[in-house]
A and B are shown apart, each in its own frame.
Chain A
């Protein structure tokens, strides 16, 4: 088995009695773009900070390229970290900003200028080289912050909500930039709430909720965990419809309609197309007023919501 870029072993972080991250076992292969998904308070930022060596785990271990992280400096050499909320030194020029971080990473004077120029080129800020950081747009500052994380050519990039607060154009630019970095062989972990954006770019995903990793793997692997479903909109006689649906072949479970969509019945269904067709036929024969009948798609968003909801339901039991 090839060396993993990131591995965590039973990683736990507690804040007093609150457990922010609970027995996290992550495995991320080199060169992958790992999308870290989870609702607010899921423990994504805490995990990223532990991976960056900025936060001491309560227990468990973090390995970056097989190296056990016990000091911030060990992680700093391997990782480039971009926090979710970041500030910039307003009174510095763009090149000075990157030059400062290059100095902090001990880049030799001879290499410093070419490193700064290369990064400005990479993040498309060469024209703004001598501008003050405070005069950059939000998107440009985001790209500059990403450049700061790359200044020491790290193998791993940890990006916490890199697309937050960006307009659609800046998001497209960021996505392109991440693709370029992937092509450069970097392992990238990024957390985000914008699921469809991650779907396009990430090779692997991890879904977290309440400090626990609910699932991880490629989209295909995760889809296998997803239960196929049908959505049926019945305009009247909902109870008779639900009884009838529950008696059909291939139906696993009939869920109660949500308050905001009172006529929409969600059905967990693992039958084939013939069985789905038979179900529709039987509903029509029973003269139920069917307005919509369709299979739910396998989007990341649905998968995410399904896993998180299941987890919450299980915890409530």
Chain B
């Protein structure tokens, strides 16, 4: 049987790595204990957010159901983002290195399994577990719909950002695993990079806002999935139009009624009238709301529409995934690792053409 015929034959079959990994991963109680812990943690955080969102009632302030729904949704979305970004590399840092460490790598690459199928298998099996976590969280997350205030557009945007972040994070783990060959080293490399991306860019934006009144450059916001999610969730409340209350923005009155009053402005929380009342929101949304010098009829400053940096983040995450995949693909090859192939040329062409195509809508992406 020729190699080509063999490849054709099993290209229609399930990826062997996925079958093996799922068999071994889902065996025993470990996976289910983690799943239970994950859901319990998420439930507790959701309950905490609910208590916080409704805490104003103790002071006799009216609470709008939409505000509770939006706070819960945004809080849970951030929680999920952090969890998948942290869990995905933990699942993948051993993808290649553990095969080397337990001396199964040579036996694996001595088979007919091509490198790209090996990597896909590792990625898909890791992502399927993360997908299981996310799917299991759906019933819990759907509670927010009981409160309202969320549109399908926001759900889809958040799902895309969280999903792509999970894939990129998993791909980062596989890349580190393939490049370093040691699981411990791969974990250190992955989490240092994640720390730098999440914390580094946020700190950069923070420093920027303290030093200048100029808007934070897109380059400091777009690479960070936190800023991307904040920019998407920021539109939940819409721009403040100086006190005008619509159904969607009804809750904007709440922070004032809850004791803030006009006195809170311009206090330490200029964006609290976005209505998302949970810890960290100010930090996560830094640089997202461009300040304006316009004031509404009630004398309140108008806060502009949040910047849509999430669109560029999507492109950056896809590009990062491709780059990690390409490097890992070459690193797992047993021979001629860094020799350019026709596959590389094809990938480069498709990527360049895609970027060129995106360039036609450059205005939309950078809006």
Q: B3–A72 contact, CB under 8 A?
A: no
Kindly state whether residue A284 has any CB partner on chain B within 8 Å: no
- How far in angstroms is the closest Cβ of chain A from B342? 13
Q: Which chain A residue lies CB-closest to B333?
A: A72
Closest to A96 in B: B23
Docked complex Cα distance between A49 and B19 (Å)? 28
Q: Please count how many residues in chain B sit with their CB below 8 Å of the partner chain's CB atoms.
A: 32
Q: Are B104 and A76 neighbours in the complex by a CB distance under 8 Å?
A: no
Q: In the complex, identify which listed stretch (B6-14, B218-226, B348-356) lies at the interface while the others stay far away.
A: B6-14
In the complex, are the beta carbons of A105 and B6 less than 8 A apart? yes
Q: Name A86's closest neighbour in chain B (CB-CB).
A: B103
Neighbouring B residues of A131 by C-beta, 8 Å? none
A77 touches B3 (CB 8 A): yes
Interface status of B113 (Cβ within 8 A of chain A): yes
- Nearest-neighbour CB distance to chain B for A109, whole angstroms, equals 7
Q: Is the CB of B335 within 8 A of A54?
A: yes
Residues of chain A within 8 A (CB-CB) of B6 are 77, 105-106
Q: A53-B334, A77-B6 are in contact. Are A86 and B111 (CB under 8 A)?
A: no
The answer to the question of B112 belonging to the interface, with a C-beta cut-off of 8 Å to chain A, is yes
Question: Per-residue 0/1 for A53-94: is the Cβ within 8 Å of any B Cβ (1 yes, 0 no)?
Answer: 111100000000000000111111101011101111101100
The minimal Cβ–Cβ distance linking B296 to chain A, given in whole angstroms, is: 63
User: B13 contacts A89, CB within 8 Å?
Assistant: no
Given contacts A91-B24, A103-B19, contact A54 B106 (CB under 8 A): yes
From B24, B102, B112, A106 is in contact (CB under 8 Å) with: B112
Q: Which of A72, A87, A107 contacts B109 (CB 8 A)?
A: A72
Contact A72 B110 (CB under 8 A): yes
Q: Are A106 and B20 in touch, CB under 8 angstroms?
A: no
With A103-B19, A106-B9 known as contacts, the answer to whether A72 contacts B104 (CB < 8 A) is no
With an 8 A cutoff between CB atoms, is B108 at the interface?
A: yes
- Find chain B residues with CB under 8 A from A107 CB: 10
Assembly CA distance A107 to B112 (angstroms): 10
| Cα distance A59–B235 in the bound complex, in angstroms | 63
Beyond the given A76-B3, A96-B20, A104-B108, please list 17 additional residue pairs across the A-B interface where CB-CB is below 8 A. A54-B106, A79-B110, A83-B106, A83-B107, A87-B103, A88-B104, A89-B24, A89-B102, A91-B28, A92-B20, A103-B14, A103-B16, A105-B6, A105-B112, A107-B10, A145-B107, A148-B107
Can you give 30 contacting A-B residue pairs, CB < 8 Å? A54-B109, A54-B334, A55-B334, A55-B335, A72-B109, A72-B333, A72-B334, A73-B114, A76-B3, A76-B110, A76-B111, A76-B112, A83-B106, A83-B107, A85-B103, A86-B106, A87-B103, A87-B104, A88-B104, A89-B102, A91-B28, A100-B16, A101-B111, A103-B19, A104-B16, A104-B108, A104-B111, A105-B6, A106-B7, A152-B111
Closest 6 A-B residue pairs measured CB to CB?
Answer: A106-B10, A103-B16, A87-B103, A104-B111, A87-B102, A56-B335
